């Protein structure tokens, strides 16, 4: 029920208004109701867009504009997660745990790992085979997040010979499945 119908039902018990369809009073209440319906829709939209967890369009775009580099835009939920991660960055975000929370701001699942060499960090993409789409943008966001004194290497996942042999595949199986060299190395 819209506000026009609500106003009519609210005033009907008074019995002083002519609320028949097409009457002046009913038309006036419908017009007021339409204005209130529009105001409610605008308030609902503003409420939705001002909260990161529910924002869908303008709210996400405005938040993303606060950052030097925008996260890779894959989907609305991933954009929300990226914004949330980027908002967590502070001057004390130098622990591995804090860096891992923050690099989710690149827009895809990424994980920083310490290496055996001091001052080096490795970034992996556990849910992606090969180089992620839009990697140049992802790389720039991650490098802006990771402390500048750390040498950063990016690690990409490909099918290894050991994994291929463990599956028991032969070259005949690979050709029969229609793999190209590129699609085979991504078959992890």
Q: Please tell me whether residues 42 and 68 are part of one structural domain.
A: no
Q: pTM of the prediction?
A: 0.57
Cα–Cα distances (Å) from 53 to 45, 58, 72, 78, 82, in that order, read: 13, 13, 18, 11, 11
Residue with the larger pLDDT of the pair 38 and 15: 38
Most confident of 20-34, 60-74, 93-107: 20-34
**Are residues 15 and 82 both part of a single domain?**
no
Decide if pLDDT at 164 tops 70: yes
| Residues 86, 87, 90, 94, CA torsion sign | negative
Quick: pLDDT tens for 3-24. 988 988 888 888 888 888 888 8
Q: Both 151 and 166 in a single domain?
A: no
**pLDDT tier at 34 (50, 70, 90 boundaries)?**
very high
Domain of residue 177, residue span = 158-188
Helix (H) / strand (E) containing 139: helix 135-145
Do 71 and 153 lie in a common domain?
yes
Are 165 and 82 within one domain? no
Q: How many structural domains comprise the chain?
A: 3
Instruction: Supply the pLDDT for residue 35.
Output: 92
| 44 and 135, same domain (yes or no) | no
Residues 166 and 151 in one domain: no
**Contact indicator for 183, 153 with CB cutoff of 8 Å:** no
Of 71, 109, 95, nearest in space to 147 by CA? 95
Model confidence at 64: pLDDT above 80: yes
Say if residue 184 is in the same domain as residue 133: no
Same domain, residue pair 104 and 166: no
């Amino acid at each position: 029920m819209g506000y026009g119908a609500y106003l009519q039902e609210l005033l009907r018990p008074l019995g002083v208004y002519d609320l028949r369809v097409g009457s002046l009073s009913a038309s006036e209440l419908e017009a007021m109701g339409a204005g209130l319906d529009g105001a409610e829709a605008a308030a609902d939209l503003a409420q939705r867009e001002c909260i990161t967890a529910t924002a869908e369009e303008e709210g996400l775009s405005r938040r993303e504009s606060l950052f030097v580099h925008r996260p890779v835009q894959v989907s609305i939920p991933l954009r929300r997660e990226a914004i949330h991660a980027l908002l967590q960055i502070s001057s004390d975000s130098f622990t591995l745990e804090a860096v891992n929370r923050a690099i989710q701001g690149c827009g895809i699942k990424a994980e920083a790992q310490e290496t055996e060499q001091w001052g080096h960090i490795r970034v992996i993409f556990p849910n992606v085979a090969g180089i992620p789409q839009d990697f140049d943008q992802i790389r720039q966001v991650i490098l802006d997040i990771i402390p500048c004194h750390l040498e950063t290497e990016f690690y990409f996942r490909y099918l290894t010979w050991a994994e291929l042999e463990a599956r028991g595949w032969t070259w005949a199986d690979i050709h029969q499945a229609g793999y190209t060299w590129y699609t085979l190395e991504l078959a992890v």
